[in-house]
């Protein structure tokens, strides 16, 4: 009987370790997603007070983080000049990014942000490292 209990414990332990390894591999197999935004701010005070705080709250609630950006912190290396605000957000994966966009990101940009600025926003999936 004792051997049977040891074998059962070993099998359960192996199963748990295997499941953990699969989860870790799956997490590594899902690249991050990035959102790039180009914004021409027409009313800086309105943008900062009426839009930015709420927009950032929605981003953070969905696990997003700022990677780069701000006012006049970018430069055009080729092509047309950039607008006065450019930035990059990072999300854990495409599903998280879609959760942000469909969970309030789009609404706040269209309903509030568009009063103060013109937006160009696009997303790209990161590369596998």
pTM: predicted TM-score of the whole model, two decimal places: 0.74
Q: How far apart are the first and last CA of the chain?
A: 48
**DSSP per-residue codes, 69-86:** EEET----SSSSPP-SEE
Residue 51 burial class via C-beta count within 10 angstroms: exposed 0-12, middle 13-18, buried 19 and up: buried
9-66 pLDDT per residue, tens? 555 656 555 655 555 555 557 899 999 999 999 999 999 999 999 999 999 999 999 9
Q: Are 47 and 117 in contact (CB under 8 A)?
A: yes
As given in the structure block, the two tokens for residue 90 are 């990072």
| Fold held by 31-125 | Alpha-Beta Plaits (3.30.70)
63-110 pLDDT per residue, tens? 999 999 988 888 999 999 999 999 999 999 999 999 999 999 999 999
Domain boundaries, the chain: 1-30, 31-125
State residue 110's pLDDT score. 95
């Amino acid at each position: 009987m004792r051997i049977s209990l040891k074998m059962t414990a070993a099998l359960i332990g192996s199963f748990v370790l295997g499941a953990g390894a699969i989860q870790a591999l799956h997490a590594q197999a899902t690249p991050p997603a990035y959102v790039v935004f180009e914004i021409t701010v027409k009313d800086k005070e309105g943008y900062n007070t009426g839009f930015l705080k709420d927009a950032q709250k929605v981003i953070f609630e969905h696990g997003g983080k700022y990677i780069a950006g701000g006012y006049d912190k970018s430069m055009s290396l080729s092509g047309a000049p950039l607008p006065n605000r450019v930035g990059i957000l990072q999300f854990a994966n495409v599903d998280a990014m879609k959760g942000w966009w469909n969970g309030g990101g789009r609404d706040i940009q269209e309903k509030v942000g568009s009063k103060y600025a013109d937006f160009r926003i696009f997303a790209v999936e990161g590369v596998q490292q």
